Structure 1
């Protein structure tokens, strides 16, 4: 057999590990402790042949397959037919029809070039392949490949996994890597969480040249500053000179004070400053002659469901406007030259689990005790708390809607940045003198319902 070729066997398993019947089906496989059934007749023109053998210190075990006696017979429709008794064209035609059903399995196996076939075979032996052409076979193979990379810790960085129940969150998926939830939704059918997880670098590591490397003290300080954790006017030593001109908070940026080169390293001194057109006020950068924050008139007079308000700065997003009602963004505009944001806010029910009720002049829950309602409400009220727990070492406590920050390592994508808000990537970059380090410009935006 040529080197590198793939042997493909369709298996059907017995309901018991030890044979208690006189005849077996062609292709049937069972565990033979002691390997006593090798070459024993298992049917008409059929015998057991060992396809895998396992030796331990005090025992031996074989996987036996009921196959045709020798090359004089060919497997056709579950039987071993002697070749001379069939027309050559008929044999080829039947074999062609049977081989067509194997194409989907062969396609899946080719996805992983060095996949150990016998390992895959052992795992699928516990179930009978009823329809090789169905999508179930492909799903089994895909799950086996995923389990294998998780068990061996060989998953590729940024690989995506889908799971019901989210029990693998935080599970190791590679060297210095772990599974991180990037999307979490409640299944309407099973009332369980459906998670999309990604294999990412652990918190104390950062992606560099396709691998996860340890975050140094200097790099750790960079990450904190880029994510808005530094104070206004703070001076930072920037080894590799990658911070100059980067956003580091709402209406804030790093400004180069001094740059120099020492041997093979570039070192810069940068300062946390307001962007042009903004003035410092109480540790924040406020637009010159900026209008006062939009007042929440609903707190005094009360608002009805559907009422809209023009909100400069989008400060009202998520604020209460009635009984079980909050402001939600209908549309928003960002001025590129100043990064100021303007929103049209609508007073709406908290989420789809609440409906408008004239009885209490507000929104009431559709049904009491419904899991989706409780969980959705908990997501709104505790989302920011979860975000702070996961990234408390690298992020500040809150972000404004429309705020853009530089995220060295691109770890904040799809993570919550406030009530009904999450980070989206608007641009990717790499350090000028350290190109293997990847970074992203992320914006705190409204969550799409």
Structure 2
């Protein structure tokens, strides 16, 4: 039995042996089927929750078609199970954290997201479901995975991204150093392989990891498929996506690879890079270049209700729903904002935030604002600051190259800091958790 990070005791651990049988009976299984379900072994304990073998199998069923569509060869079964289990542990930890903070994804939000996914692919929801199931993906699993992604995004925005601050001085320094690069090489797509090291490696562990990383670089430069090697050998959390880190604004690349993003040619493989987490191999898979265009601005106003010991999420949402009905019935938004909004700065102006540039507000606010037309009023929604009611007054396009560059610089700095902060936060979340791996062949 393998055990990792038993930072705090789990006095209930002795009860877990019969949990699979209890769950099977609770779900209405017959005694015969319950005996079969009892064989659904617990493969990991994550705080006060468990991950069972069938969950690993379902996740593999979800991942394999994605890898196939991306042209990524699946790694051998033991490595695939290891990668999937690690992914499930991170999902479970974030789901637990979201539950503790009261963060939820309601059915309306989930259905809207699924509708957007279907529309981007030119499909209806029914056609999306049929397409997924034809490809071997159960729609219920896809739906649950989509909910998890929205939940994770909200959690990370609240706990990490919303706390990142970018100063004007940082933007000025960034533009002094890298403004021309924002134009010449605007976006890059990166792939990544990590050969991990323990927190305090000995000399032999370091030498072994370095040797493995150098061997992989030789294979890659000799024509080996990066995605296949990443899925098989990488310890990074994007391994099952072929090591694909996605697109980055040129200034938003993680600090570790910022120089490489500027200097590697398209398709080029880096030498191994040492960090505290291990050895990294980077491929610059694609480059895009563009110049900043016009600046789209939104004139917006809002009413904010903050939550605290006396005001719950339900109370805040209910109060805003009443205010929304009054506004729709003809009451003056500005008067209600002055009387009710907890944003004292804008409340004095009738909730008016003035002209807002992209990136000036937190993502949850900007996402809702961008979907509204002039004079449209939002439904109550939540951001890291509380609950909002938003109305867009008007929009305009400003021909401002300098303003657009400052916005791009702010976004790049925000994304760069966010990528590093989220990695650090996930590591802390895992370090502070009780995690026990029950099967040696799935030991991370």
With normalisation by structure 2, the TM-score equals: 0.24
Structure with more relative contact order (C-alpha pairs < 8 Å, separation 6 or more) = 2
* Higher relative helix content: 2
